[in-house]
Structure 1
Amino acid sequence: MAFLPGSSLAQDPATSPAPTPTAASNPTPTPLEPDYADMLTRALDEGFEGFQKTEPATPEEFRDYLHLLGQIVEMKTSKEKQAKRTQAFLSQTAEAEAAIANFKPPVINADSGLDAFDSARLDLWQALNWLAALEKIAESRTEQNRISFEELKKAQSELQALQSTGTPATPQLAWQRKLQDLRVAVAYAEHQARTDSSFLHADMKLQKARIKMANKYLDHLKGRVVFLTGLLNVKREQAQKDETESAQTAKDLENQVKSLPSSGTFRRYPELSSLLMQGLENQIQISEYRRIGLLIRSQIWQARHDIWNTSDPKSFEKTARAVNDRMQDVQTWHPLIANLNAKTQERRRAAQALLDDPNQKAPDTIRPLVEKYFTQEDAALSKWETEFDHLVQLLTLANADLTERRGQLNMGQKLNVAAASLGGEIGTLWNTEIFHLNDSVFINGEVIQRPSPVTLGMMLTALLILILGGLISAASSRWIRARLSARFSLDANTGAIIQKFSNAFLLVCISLVALAVVKIPLTIFALLGGAAAIAVGFGSQQLVNNLISGIILLFERPIRIGDIIDVGAYAGTVTSIGTRCSQLRRADGVEILIPNSIILQGTVVNWTLTDSHVRQEILVGISYTSPVEKALEIIAQIAKSHPDVLKNSDTNVFFHDFGADSIVLRLLYWVDKQVIGTANRVPSELRLSIYNALSAAGISLAFPQRDIHLATATPISVQVLPPAAH
């Protein structure tokens, strides 16, 4: 049975009317009465010169004439063969229908039942696939029939145009009419071939009968077939036997490879010997693929046995994944088979060319030996291809077994299978290899590179360990700081150092634990040392600068947590000293992050480095008529009586300057910078108290004054202008 490539079904010739000779739009068929085969033979025997004695043809027309005759003869021969095959299909269909009508259930036992069941299923699938292909061909024939009909109309239109002139006046016109009549005959024959659907219908009818017969067998065999362990052992023993035979074949091929270069027959022909050597190497490769295929065959038989006999629905999905993986592995061999076949034929042609080359002077006795090598290679390829087809069929049967068993599960079992399938998919994704690393190990004094795969699951596990470990490390370092601070009365800065370094130590330990859990070797980081150094030297130099500056700030302690500092345009209280930056809080509550390198390398004013005492000043201007001594006494008394002015520090009031408008008095006093409000509240309260006390004492505060002097040495000119006219 075979497909008819290019065929299509336009309409059934039994119901489609034949073209009538009314007009060019309805072309007239040209009967295939002449013996076109005889005409072709005579034309070929005569040749162009002999043909010209009877017909005034040009060389191009003669070639066209031969081509048209060849087409008609070929289509006639094809039609005869197709008619015979149609009769064969009809005969086979009749036999199949008779067998269906008189169906007798096959007698099976525990050993033969599964093979009969598999054979019936394979027949059913083959017939279904074949029928689907034939139906597609039938669907495509409508368009092909339309094209052939248009070509027939065109050919007959041209013929009618030639016939409309009446009797040909010259031999040339008669020849043109004869040639066009032949073109019409070819177009009509092609149209008939495309519209004749008897062959296609006979094949479709046969496939439907095969489907019905296969279903009969399957209906009888379902529920009666078992897959016992004894049958599994038979299948595995057969696979083992074939594997032993394949291993022996590979061993024989290796011996041939060793003996071929030293063979006296081929030693004088190195190019030919090289071609044969390549063939032997290909056969060794084929033997290895056969061995792998036989191992897979044993695994699939075991999987099918488990499917037929297991009571655990979850194991179905595990088996399904194994079968699917094996199917994907085997499918990659298909292009390899075609490639090896093509290379074999190419080498066969090259060997034949060498044998035919007179310069090689190859004796006739060497030809059978060369042919023997290529025949051996063809046989190896053919055997592997057959085993490949059987393996694909076995995998297909295993998938069908899984589908059938799934259909027999109840709802609860199906949910279990779905859960197992989802778990399997997650497991597959979890074990997906992202990349692999080479680990160097010492074995017997030698360094061996061992690949270490890194999977998605390993990465996620390491990430989870790092996240949880980071949270635990942060909490643990805070607990350590609190315990040590309470036990040893540590200041805030020392506590911060302990917290940060304990956190860093715990993070390093957690990172090592994460690498150990996911089995990532530490030796790979030795290979990354150079790359890390380059990264630090170029891309991370600012980050490293801030990190080192932070460590210096923590140990050298030029600033501490709680210090009040000025850094450039920023001023505030230090609330945190990190490894990358320090945090300031301004008096207005704004948080400022300043890189540690700026603090370490720039100018910093630390108001509380040794103590928190800060001197402040207030300037007071009184009038020139006020008693200065009394004012000094009042201001000093007010400053000393304020509760936030330090009593153990000097508080002084000075006659500061003769101002342009006032006598300037200067009050100097000390406050504690860490007391809230000393920057603005204390000066404000002192100014208010000084103002009230001086006012009560009759001492007036000065204000800006300006003296105006008039130049009266000459009279002042006064002019009275008339009102402006409207």
Structure 2
Amino acid sequence: MSMPAFAHRGILLICVLLAAIVAMPTSRGDSGSPPEAAAKTELTADIVSERRAAVQNELAAARAALAKLPEGQQQEAGLWLTQETALLERIESVFAEDLRTLQHAADLAAEAATVEQRLKNRRPADEYLPLPHNLQQLDQLYAERDYLDEAIATLKEDVSNAAEALQEARDVREDRDRERRTAREALGTARDPVKAQRQLRIAELESRLAQETVQLRETALRTLRFQQSLLGPKSELLRPNLEWLRANVVITDEDVAAVRATREKRLADVEAALIAARADAEKTSLAVVQIERRPPSEVSVEELSSRRADRQLASRVVAVLTAERDYLKERETVAQLRRRVLNGSALSTEMRNWEAENRVRLERLERDRLLQRAELTKTRRELQDLQARVTGTNGNAISPGPWVSERMQRLAAWHALNSSERAEVQGLKAERLRLKEELAGHVGSISVDEVVELAKRSVIAGWDYEVFSVQDQPVRVKTVLAVIAIVFSGHWLCRRLSELAAAVVFRRLGMNTGRRAAWQTLSFYGLFSIVVLAALGMFHLSLTQFSVVSGALAVGLGFGSQNLLSNFISGVILLIERPVSKGDVIELDGQQVTVEKLGPRSTIVRSRDNIHMIVPNSRLLEQSVVNWTLTDDIVRRKIAVGVAYGSPTRQVDKILREVLASVERVCPQPAPSVTFVDFGADALVFEALFYCEVDDRVEVETELRHRINEAFVRAGIVMAFPQRDMHLDTSRPLQIEVLHPELRSEPKRK
């Protein structure tokens, strides 16, 4: 084997031996070693008491030695004895705490035995729970259940903290053991053996204190874990009883009256306190006013600030008492809801509504609780700061005048009031949590009647839902639907009433068709305007509100809707002046049309070819329009008749007059006439002039032409037609040439 390999293995062997020596436990016979053997032994109250007694003896001896020290040696030796005494006192306190922890563990062991016995001999809830099975007993079980739930969460955190504390204690023990071993090693080489011995004594006591602290932390951790293990069985025993009692609770009038009397007494106390707080707030405000009226030289800035703070605090006291009164009333309401849920008199629909409302209130109570905690912290800090200023511990002392003591009293009372309010909030929150749990157990499937009731309430809720508001007045869904119904039904009714008025009233007044149509439209507009105003009244709108924006509205409409407004206003003018009415025959663009409808924006006309045209109303006013039936529906028509030259003209005139008189639809007045108007190129031209209704003009003209032709045939009068006379020059023979077809395209040149 080579030398480097041998040296390497030798180094490894030395390292292993050193590690074994370091890991080897210290000799039990060493007087300075801690009692580690005892640490591995299970502690009992007797062992801890013996150790405590031994420490107390050591403590008494140290105190006696400190008292017997000569005056010259008190400065140096007394310092060491004082440190030793302090360490022994701390060790003694650790033993005392250890005894309390062991006693707690013993109590838990007894409780565990009881719980185990109850689990083995479990009885039904109706036999285990004492009578009466009322609401107070149910609340007591709720409180026990809440305590167990809270304890589970708290002990989980406590166990975690205890484990961390144990680890810290073990780390400290290692440090103190290291210091003890170092002090023991330094004793053999010390130049001052007395001082080294004293340092070793202090190091041993600190190591002993660390060891006892580790034992205390271990005992505490075992106790907490043991206590934590009991919570599950306790909850297992409690919950069946709670479920049974919640389903079989008996609520009597006596119990309700007793609880109500207690709450009414509490409410009366709060009302009395509220009256006193209001009086105190007024008194405090007057005091501040009096101080403010003093000359500036007589007023202390701190006193004025304190008095103003008192005034603000007095107002807040009134607000807190008012809130506390409301909490009490709310608790009574919650109690009534709980009674209805528990006795089964509440419908599922009601309980669903209560569940939603209860959820909102729980969130609000949680916010109130956080605000109260912040207020308590602020008040406590202010009170402590004021006490420190009075005592001068913060270096900024103030004179303890009457306003200072009064301020401290107010802060203390305010702190107590906040604590009371917080308790009320906690109680109300507990009541609502119980209501939430009871509602969750009863809200399930619902019957057909409850479905109908729920649908009815939903419809009513939707019917009363506020869509928007006008002048701080709500406009609900029912209002909007009512307005829509009124507008549509009013439109239909106004249309029917205007038609009825045109058919009955206006006809009896002797109005023609056009006037009846115009008045029918105007009456419709008037009636519908009343309907619209009534609808606006349901929206809480008035005409004065429209006058505010009428100017801006007119400008906007003037620029954006010029043609629309022009046609609308023209339609109104047409209805009022009636230059054109329904049924009139007018002439537009060279053709005769009949007016069928006058609308607010346009007029509908129909031509003879049954073609409907939409004419803007403004065109009927801005352009010249020929109205054939403006005053009446009688028009003059004429028929031109041409007879051959040589015909008896007077006989023709007579025949034409007889024919005009024979047609019934020709108006006798004005009388028809016949005019010999011209010697035409091909005929003698006569014109038969007559009057007829405008609607009959085409039929009358056709009938007259038939009869004129028949009369002329009977009288042998020839109707003229175009003729051409050709005159031939016969002074020389006519030249006739026959041309070849090919030569016909070109004329022969002479």
Which range, TM-score by smaller chain? 0.5 to 0.7
Q: Which runs of 5+ in 1 are unaligned?
A: 1-30, 34-80, 136-196, 439-450, 704-726
TM-score (normalised: structure 2): 0.56
Q: Does 1:453 align with 2:474?
A: yes
Distance 1:665 1:494, change over 3 A: closer
Residues 397-448 of structure 1 show CA distances to partners (whole Å, capped at 9, x for unaligned) of 33444454455x8xxx71111221222222222222233444xxxxxxxxxx
SS in 2 for 1:363: coil
Unaligned 5+ residue runs, structure 2?
Answer: 1-22, 26-97, 157-220, 292-298, 725-750
Partner Cα distance (1:200, 1:482) in 2: 101
2: CA distance between counterparts of 1:570 and 1:298?
Answer: 88
Matches of 2:623 and 2:107, distance apart in 1 = 100
Q: Are 1:435 and 2:455 counterparts?
A: no
- Selected match of 2:549 from 490, 513, 531: 531
Q: Distance in 2 between matches of 1:583 and 1:378?
A: 85
CA drift at 1:499: 3.8
1:676-716 CA-partner distances (Å, limit 9, x unpaired): 67399959989x989x99xx96965489xxxxxxxxxxxxx
Residues 651, 667 of structure 1: 8 Å contact kept: yes
In the other structure, the counterpart of 1:398 is 435
Q: Which amino acid aligns with 1:610?
A: T
- Counterpart of 2:335 in structure 1 is 301
What is the aligned counterpart of 1:280 among 314, 318, 327? Answer: 314
Q: Go from structure 1 to structure 2 and tell me whether the alpha carbon gap of 1:387 and 1:353 turns closer, same or farther (over 3 Å shift).
A: closer
Describe how 1:289-328 pairs up with structure 2 within 5 A. Answer: 289-309=323-343, 313=347, 316-318=348-350, 320-321=352-353, 324-325=356-357, 327-328=359-360
Question: Structure 1 residue 389: deviation in Å?
Answer: 3.1
Percent identity at matched positions? 18
Cα distance in structure 1, aligned partners of 2:512 and 2:231:
94
Instruction: Name 1:675's counterpart in structure 2.
Output: 695
Residues in 2 aligned to 1:130 and 1:602: alpha-carbon distance in whole angstroms: 97
More helix by share: 2
Aligned to 2:596: 575
Q: In the alignment, residue 275 of structure 2 is paired with which amino acid?
A: K
Residue by residue over 1:34-64, the C-alpha shift from the partner in whole angstroms, topping out at 9 and shown as x without a partner, is xxxxxxxxxxxxxxxxxxxxxxxxxxxxxxx
Aligned twin of 1:74: none
User: Which AA in structure 2 matches 1:556?
Assistant: E
Question: Aligned partners of 2:359, 2:694: CA distance in 1, in Å?
Answer: 79
Q: Distance in 1 between matches of 2:545 and 2:704?
A: 66
CA distance in 2, matches of 1:198, 1:665: 141
Structure 1's 362 and 510: CA in aligned 2 closer, same or farther, altered over 3 A?
same
Q: 2 CA distance for matches of 1:653 and 1:350?
A: 126
Instruction: Quote the offset at 1:217 in angstroms.
Output: 0.8
Using the TM superposition, give the Cα deviation of residue 125 of structure 1 relative to its aligned residue in structure 2, in angstroms: 7.7
Which among 334, 346, 367 is matched to residue 366 of structure 2? Answer: 334
Match of 2:134 in 1: 113
Asked if the contact 1:465–1:514 (Cα under 8 Å) also holds between the matched residues in 2, the reply is yes
Contact 2:284–2:314 under 8 Å retained in 1: no
Per the alignment, residue 423 of structure 1 pairs with 456
Q: What is the Cα deviation at residue 667 of structure 1? A: 6.2
Distance 1:295 1:377, change over 3 A: same
Instruction: Determine if the alignment matches structure 1 residue 467 to structure 2 residue 499.
Output: no
Give 3-state SS (helix, strand or coil) of 2:249's partner.
coil
The CA deviation at 1:483 is 3.2
Secondary structure at 1:530 match in 2: helix
Secondary structure of residue in 2 paired with 1:117: helix
Structure 1 segment 32-181 matched on structure 2, within 5 A: 98-103=117-122, 105=125, 106-109=128-131, 113-120=134-141
Select between 611-620 and 527-536 the one with higher mean Cα deviation. Answer: 611-620
Aligned to 1:271: 305
Measured at CA, do residues 241 and 562 of structure 1 come closer, stay the same or move farther in structure 2, by a change above 3 Å? same
Counterpart AA for 1:362:
I
**Helix, strand or coil: the match of 2:596?**
strand
Opposite residue 513 of structure 2, the aligned amino acid is A
Would the aligned equivalents of 2:341 and 2:442 in 1 still touch at CA under 8 Å?
A: yes
Q: 1:678 aligns to what SS in structure 2?
A: helix
The answer (yes or no) to whether the contact 2:683–2:721 under 8 Å persists in 1 is no
Displacement of 1:491 after TM fit? 2.9
CA distance in 1, matches of 2:397, 2:517: 95
| Equivalent residue in structure 2 for 1:363, among 379, 382, 399 | 399
Partner SS state of residue 575, structure 1: strand
1:378 aligns with 2:378: no
| Paired position in structure 2 for 1:443 | none
CA-CA distance at 1:469 after TM superposition: 3.7
Match of residue 271 from structure 2:
247
Amino acid across the alignment from 1:269: E
Q: What is the DSSP-based 3-state SS (H/G/I as helix, E as strand, rest coil) of the residue aligned with 1:428?
A: helix
Q: 1:326 to 1:598 in 2, by over 3 A?
A: farther
Q: Report the Cα distance in structure 2 between the residues aligned to 1:599 and 1:256, rounded to whole angstroms.
A: 84
* C-alpha deviation, 1:457, in angstroms: 2.2
2:240 maps to 1:216: yes
Higher relative contact order (Cα pairs below 8 Å, separated by 6+ residues): 1
Report the Cα distance in structure 1 between the residues aligned to 2:245 and 2:397, rounded to whole angstroms: 65
The answer on whether the counterparts of 1:616 and 1:670 sit within 8 Å (CA) in structure 2 is yes
Structure 2 residue 574 is the aligned partner of structure 1 residue 562: no
Q: Relative to structure 1, is the Cα distance of residues 123 and 505 closer, same or farther in structure 2, using a 3 angstrom cutoff? A: farther
CA–CA distance in 2 between the matches of 1:629 and 1:201?
Answer: 145
Q: CA deviation at 1:351?
A: 7.9
Q: How much has 1:225 moved relative to structure 2? A: 1.0
Distance in 2 (alpha carbons) for counterparts of 1:621 and 1:267: 126
Whole-angstrom CA distance in 1 between matches of 2:153 and 2:652: 117
**Does the CA contact (< 8 Å) of 1:616 and 1:671 recur in 2?**
yes
Q: SS at 1:675's partner residue?
A: helix
Compared CA separation, residues 347 and 306, structure 1 to 2 (3 A): closer
Among 221, 224, 237, which residue is 2:261 paired with? 237
- Letter paired with 1:331: E
The equivalent residue for 2:281 is: 257
Distance apart, 1:203 and its partner CA:
9.2
Q: 1:563 Cα deviation (Å)?
A: 0.5
State the Cα deviation string for residues 295-330 of structure 1 (Å, max 9, x = none): 2222222333344456574xx534643564465356
1:583 is paired with a residue of what secondary structure? strand
Please, which moves more after superposition, 271-280 or 633-642? 633-642
1:222 and 1:553, CA in 2 relative to 1: closer, same or farther beyond 3 A? Answer: same
Residues 552 and 460 from structure 1, CA distance in 2 versus in 1: closer, same or farther, beyond 3 angstroms? same
Match of residue 252, structure 2, among 228, 252, 265: 228
Structure 1 contact 582–595 (Cα < 8 Å) conserved = yes
Alignment-mate amino acid for residue 373 of structure 1: R
Letter in 2 for 1:559: V
* 2:47 aligned partner: none
TM value normalised by structure 1: 0.57
Mark the structure with the bigger radius of gyration: 2
Which among 492, 495, 498 is matched to residue 513 of structure 2? 492
Q: Measure the CA separation in 2 of the matches of 1:109 and 1:103.
A: 18
Q: State the alpha-carbon separation in 1 of the partners of residues 658 and 148 from structure 2.
A: 115
Report the Cα distance in structure 2 between the residues aligned to 1:132 and 1:673, rounded to whole angstroms. 105
2:549 match: secondary structure: helix
Q: C-alpha distance in 2, partners of 1:88/1:570?
A: 121
* SS of aligned partner of 1:332: helix
> What pairs with 1:197-216 in structure 2 (closer than 5 Å)?
208-216=232-240
Verify the 8 A CA contact 2:637 2:697 in the aligned structure 1: no
CA contact under 8 A between 1:636 and 1:653: conserved in structure 2? no
Tell me how far apart the structure 2 counterparts of residues 479 and 353 of structure 1 sit (CA, whole Å): 90
